[in-house]
Amino acid sequence: MNRPLHIVVLRGGPSAEREVSLRSGAAVARALASLGHRVTEFDPVPCSPLPHRPPAPVDVAFLALHGTYGEDGTVQSELEQLGVPYTGCDVEASRVAFDKVLTKQRLVARDVPTPRFLVASDPATPFPPNWRPPLVLKPVRQGSSVGLEFLEDAAQWPAALASCLRYDREALIEERILGREVTVGILEHTALPLVEVRPHAGAYDYRNKYTPGATEYLCPAPFDDPTTRRIQAAALAAFEAVEGRDYARVDVMVRPDGTPLVLEVNTLPGMTETSLLPKAAAAAGIGFAELCQSMVDLARRRTPRHPTSPASHVA
């Protein structure tokens, strides 16, 4: 390993995904400390924002944040103003990928296969003509399945739309693809082994994501080689469509005929040792601590190295 670094792990934050982020950050901090780094954990809640004249020199900020502020380009912009290198996608890619509509527009423009969609912002919006259930309703700017609604009957539309709009001013309405749910980890523009997600009951919603034992994960996912390559190619195309860098996780639905359809790009995926991106990395022979180190190394490459004078300060 290179010289020990001072790494600030940003975790927690003000979003609806705060608890998930705290777990991600704790796992990352343990892994980096095990490698000999000096690790400071920092929770950028509204009463404790990033300081403009902080006291401690920092080599890298590791972003273990999820949701608004952490994943939408805001903290990325603040860190750039402070001159602190940080892990993951830049300001613009973060902004685009966090917004499901902007992501969809990029996918459509690049001919990346994705379910058809429309957008609603008024709870009184009538059920869309020429559509039929099953549908999925998602807040445009949320993650971790927060506010997700599955609609099986048009009569459920008013309640489902109103519930979804509690979490954001806009709702994405998407045709629900009946098939197999897969996630594709991306590391340095390389697709990792596929992870197939199989909830024991219902859909892969917030409860099934974070309830131990509620979901079965198969990695590598049991697809034939041609189908695997198609899914990975679609995921990489989506990552490039939002101009991602370093790493991400792309969620994909696969029709029974093997056709992949990209749902979204997650620029700061969960980073507990049992999260999906670390599962995919493990299947590729990359341990959790090694994965965290790789993310730090990628961030460091973007910044001129000044071993006696770190880039800037935070925390």
Cross-strand pairs, 9: 41, 62
User: Using an 8 Å Cβ cutoff, are 47 and 297 in contact?
Assistant: no
Q: What is the 3-state secondary structure (H, E, C) of the chain?
A: CCCCCEEEEECCCCCCCHHHHHHHHHHHHHHHHHCCCEEEEECCCCCCCCCCCCCCEECEEEECCCCCCCCCCHHHHHHHHHCCCECCCCHHHHHHHHCHHHHHHHHHHCCCCCCCEEEECCCCCCCCCCCCCCEEEEECCCCCCCCCEEECCHHHHHHHHHHHCCCCCCEEEEECCCCEEEEEEEECCEECCCEEEEECCCCCCHHHHHCCCCEEEECCCCCCHHHHHHHHHHHHHHHHHCCCCCEEEEEEEECCCCCEEEEEEECCCCCCCCCHHHHHHHHCCCCHHHHHHHHHHHHHHCCCCCCCCCCEECC
Report how far residue 147's alpha carbon sits from residue 161's, in angstroms, rounded to the nearest whole number.
Answer: 10
Report how far residue 47's alpha carbon sits from residue 58's, in angstroms, rounded to the nearest whole number.
Answer: 21
Phi first, then psi: give them for residue 265, nearest 5 degrees. Answer: -115, 125
Pairing of strands 38-42, 6-10: parallel
Q: CB atoms < 10 A from the CB of 81, how many?
A: 11
Q: Which residues are part of the catalytic machinery?
A: 17, 144, 210, 249, 251, 264, 266, 270
